[in-house]
Structures are given as C-alpha cells and as structure tokens.
Amino acid sequence: MNTTSSTSTAAPPKAAPPPVPAGSGPWQLARAELRRRTSVKLSLAVVAFFALMTAAAPLISALGGWGPEEFDKTAVDPYLGGLPIGPLGGVSAEHWLGVEPVTGRDLFARVVHGAQVSLLIAFSATAIVVVAGTAAGIAAGYFGGRVDTVLSRLMDLTMSFPSLIFMIAMMSVARDVNRIVLMTAVIGLFGWPGIARVVRGQTLSLKHREYVDAARVGGSGPWRILARDILPGVAGPVIAYTTLIVPGMIATEAALSYLGVGVRPPTPSWGQMIAESVAYYDTDPMYFVVPSLCLFLTVLAFTLLGDALRDILDPRGSGT
C-alpha cells in the first residue's frame, strides 16, 4: 500500500522543450534557445522599450504636454524651498512623473530626453569600440608578426591607462566642444582593447582551420579570406560581447555626468539627473528614484541579454 500511495502522489514529469528541427544552423539554434528563456524575453522587452524611447523622444515627451526645459513655477511651493506640490514629487494628471524641485521642469520629459542622450552616447561609443576592436583583433590574429606585436602593445598601452581619471581630465580641459561627440569619442577610445583581445584569440584559432587553408590554397587573397571565412567565425562572440559592452558604456556616461564633466545643463541625461537629485533624496525621493530606476533597468536588461548570448554563441568563453 505504501508503494502504491507514493507512486500515485508523485509529481508528473516535466514536459521536454520542443525539439529544434534537424539541420538547423547555429543561428537558428541560438534563436530557439533564446525563445525558451524568460529572462531573455523580459530583457528584450525592456531594451525595446528604452530603444523606442530613445528614437522617438520628442514625440513621446510631447504626449505629456511639456518640454524638457520648460519651467512650471506653479508646480512647486516657494515657501518650502521649491519642493513639488502634491504627493510623490508632484505626480498629477499634468505631470505624470512629477516635477523637479525649484525649477518645476516636467520629470517625464526630462527622463525621456535623458534616455535619448544617455543611450545615444552609449550606443555610439559601443559602435566605435566594436568596429575598432574587431578590425584590430582580426588583423593582429591573422597577419601575426609585426602587425600582431604593434597592435598587442597598443592594446596593452591603452589598457594600462587609468581610463576614468583620463576621461575626467579630457572632459574637463575640452570645454568649447560638442559634449555628446566628445564623450562618445573619449569613451570609445578606451574601450576597444577588450574586444580586440577576444577577437584576436578567436582569429588565431580560426586561421588554421581546414576551410581557411583550402581557401588560401584556392587562390583567395587575405582580405577575401578575412571577409568570407574569418569574420563570420568571430561574429557570434562579437555579438555576445557587444551586448555586454553596452551596460558598461551606459554606466560610464552616467558616472561622467554624475561627476559634472559630462553633458552640461540644461541638456538632460540620467547621470546628471541623479547627481542633481542627491540633495533632495530625503525630501523628494521620486526625483532620485525615477532616473535611477531607468538606469538600473536598462543596465540589468542588457546584462542579462548579454549573459544569455554569451552562453549560447560563445560557450567556451563563458567560463561554464
């Protein structure tokens, strides 16, 4: 009786995931694996939301009826040091996320336009890093010799700099320039050696594969081999690494703006808003919470997505 009872109450076995069709390529397998992960779906939704916010910032902020630099003195109390009038930092039908203390600027409009600035800098800097790092890594790994020596020493030299201190110094000295362009260039300048090292290692393992040797014997030149054989072979790790770079770029931009050497007011950015809100975190916590939450969600989403892509596209480099 005991055996029968324990058998009848046992939990039913879990259903196996749907099989991937036979003959599927690596990208089809990767897509199928990504669809099975709930964390990836949530991360993609968050990334898509903030990407849409970045692309359509003027249209989205116009829905609230306020621009990012418009003052609303009626939304703050001059007798209480300019604190917002109303609950949760002045949240109302007119100001969906409340207003900034003292100025009365609409927080929804500031956050939306801050996303455009912060993510534009992060994505542009990531593009510079990926293009420069991939080109340097492939050249160093494939050609070897002096090319490898020069590029490897340049990677070591760049990585030896205390990058954050050097960024602060450069941003402080260069005053009369476009801050967005300058931040993109400075952040990209110090980011490329990491991905270059990854690509160099992948290229070294690919350059002696049979299909590469066959292409070389068949008369293909080095540039044709790099474009048709080597580059597709390193594409998976590069894509995974790129997704992991973006959170660091977002955090770097936020850190520079927080330290006061990034984007200048009145142009909004998340780091700048967090820096300004520190003085009000105890009297108006919403002013601190809103941009901090946006920054946290974006970095977390890209980190989870990058970890999943690395596990799938570059399992040997994931350390698992």
Q: In the structure, what pLDDT confidence band is assigned to residue 136 with cuts at 50, 70 and 90?
A: very high
Q: How far apart are CA 275 and CA 292, in angstroms?
A: 10
Q: How far apart are CA 98 and CA 280, in angstroms?
A: 14
Contact of 60 with 110, CB cutoff 8 Å: no
Q: In the structure, what pLDDT confidence band is assigned to residue 168 with cuts at 50, 70 and 90?
A: confident
Angle at the Cα of 167 from the Cα atoms of 161 and 169, rounded to 5 degrees = 100
pLDDT number for residue 26: 58
Contact of 138 with 231, CB cutoff 8 Å: yes
Q: How many domains does the chain have?
A: 1
Per-residue pLDDT tens over the stretch 65-97: 888 988 988 899 888 888 999 888 889 888 899
Q: Which residue type does 197 have?
A: R
Q: In the structure, what pLDDT confidence band is assigned to residue 283 with cuts at 50, 70 and 90?
A: confident
In a domain, 9, yes or no: no
Closest CA to 110 of 65, 56, 61: 61
Which of these ranges, 143-147, 150-154, 210-214, has the smallest mean pLDDT? 210-214
pLDDT number for residue 23: 44
Contact of 301 with 235, CB cutoff 8 Å: no
Per-residue pLDDT tens over the stretch 232-265: 888 888 888 888 888 889 888 888 888 888 888 7
Mean pLDDT (whole number) for 163-176: 80
In a domain, 26, yes or no: no
In a domain, 264, yes or no: yes
In a domain, 156, yes or no: yes
For residue 157, give the 3-state DSSP assignment: helix
In a domain, 45, yes or no: no
Q: How far apart are CA 43 and CA 241, in angstroms?
A: 16
C-alpha distances in Å from residue 127, one per residue of 26, 120, 131, 148, 250: 24, 11, 6, 23, 13
Q: How far apart are CA 118 and CA 54, in angstroms?
A: 9
pLDDT number for residue 5: 45
In a domain, 10, yes or no: no
In a domain, 19, yes or no: no
Per the model's pLDDT, the better-predicted residue between 17 and 311 turns out to be 311
Contact of 188 with 131, CB cutoff 8 Å: no
| pTM (two decimals) | 0.81
Contact of 46 with 298, CB cutoff 8 Å: yes
Q: How far apart are CA 316 and CA 77, in angstroms?
A: 59
Per-residue pLDDT tens over the stretch 2-52: 444 444 444 455 444 445 454 445 567 667 777 788 888 899 999 999 999
Per-residue pLDDT tens over the stretch 209-223: 888 888 888 888 888
How does DSSP assign 175-218, residue by residue? Answer: -SS-HHHHHHHHHHHHHHHHHHHHHHHHHHHHTTSHHHHHHHHT
For residue 103, give the 3-state DSSP assignment: coil
Q: In the structure, what pLDDT confidence band is assigned to residue 140 with cuts at 50, 70 and 90?
A: very high
Mean pLDDT (whole number) for 167-172: 83
The residue range of the domain holding 177 is 51-317
pLDDT number for residue 183: 87
Look up the CATH number of the domain holding residue 239: 1.10.3720.10
How does DSSP assign 240-285, residue by residue? Answer: HHHHHHHHHHHHHHHHHHHTTSSSPTTS--HHHHHHHHGGGTTT-H
| pLDDT higher than 70, residue 314 | no
In a domain, 21, yes or no: no
Phi and psi, residue 106, nearest 5° = -70, 125
